[in-house]
Structure 1
Amino acid sequence: MTRPLVVKVTCGADDPERSNQGLTVAATALSAGAEVSLWLTGEGAWLGVAGREGFVLPQAAPASDLVAAVAAGGTVTVCTQCAARRDIVEADLLPGVRIAGASTFVEEALAPDAQALVY
């Protein structure tokens, strides 16, 4: 049994290589059977919004495909404060994406055997 993985992606199109690395790790861990929670914060919050293309990085899976894969089998969350600063509301989000705050992140990151990674 694998342990839960919490991945926080703090960037988006502003730093596509770092963002894509976090998204790829989350999607790969999910395909390996891990329980995955992906957090989209800062400019990464836009990756959870419907109608936003995200970005395409050469030699990498499209960001939108990676987010959709994690949303289909894990949890994808946009940070409450990050959403508010960008006027993002629940109705703007992709299917399976939620908005939640720091207390939820801390609860997930401190769960028994959880591993948290930040990109």
Structure 2
Amino acid sequence: MPKKLVIKVTAGADAPERCSQAFTVAAVAVASGVEVSLWLTGESTWFALPGRAAEFELPHAAPLPDLLEAVLAAGQVTVCTQCAVRRGIEEKDLIEGARIAGAQLFVQEIMAEDVQALVY
């Protein structure tokens, strides 16, 4: 089993099932004791802003705020630099515990030993 799981979410409210799957896998991995790094890119970037996860709805899915809270409690949430800039989002706008970082750090994380990467 990998020591770390890096998950890149490219979907937001525009593809709710794919988005929910990514957050669910991240939260379950954290609950299982796996180190998780969740990267929010594209439309999922909006969920790093206060209150935005609460606006997400998908029938028969765990509430996105609960999943995000679980990941933040024991993992890392990162917003893509370019995605943030395109949306006018700055570090000061983010929920507590989230950060903004670029492709260099993403590549560094996924190339580390004992890492599994998933893209949704």
Per-residue CA distance 1:53-75 (angstroms, 9 max, x = gap): 34121111111221121011100
Normalised to the residue count of structure 2, the TM-score between the two structures is 0.95
Give 1:96 deviation, angstroms. Answer: 0.4
Partner of 1:44: 44
Equivalents in 2 of 1:94, 1:64: separation in Å? Answer: 11
Give 1:3 deviation, angstroms. Answer: 1.6
Equivalents in 2 of 1:65, 1:56: separation in Å? Answer: 12
CA contact (8 A) 1:46 1:54 kept: no
Partner of 1:3: 3
Letter of the aligned partner of 2:76 in structure 1? T
* Aligned structure 1 segments of 4 or more residues deviating by more than 4 angstroms: none
Percent same amino acid among aligned pairs? 61
Equivalents in 2 of 1:24, 1:10: separation in Å? Answer: 14
Equivalents in 2 of 1:54, 1:11: separation in Å? Answer: 15
Residues 39-48 or 65-74, more deviating: 65-74
Letter of the aligned partner of 1:70 in structure 2? V
Letter of the aligned partner of 1:113 in structure 2? D
Letter of the aligned partner of 1:14 in structure 2? D
Equivalents in 1 of 2:66, 2:90: separation in Å? Answer: 21
Equivalents in 2 of 1:68, 1:83: separation in Å? Answer: 20
CA contact (8 A) 2:12 2:19 kept: yes
Matched, 1:76 2:77: yes
The alignment covers a number of residue pairs equal to 119
Partner of 2:111: 110
Secondary structure of 1:39 counterpart: strand
User: 5+ residue gaps in structure 1?
Assistant: none
Give 1:51 deviation, angstroms. Answer: 2.7
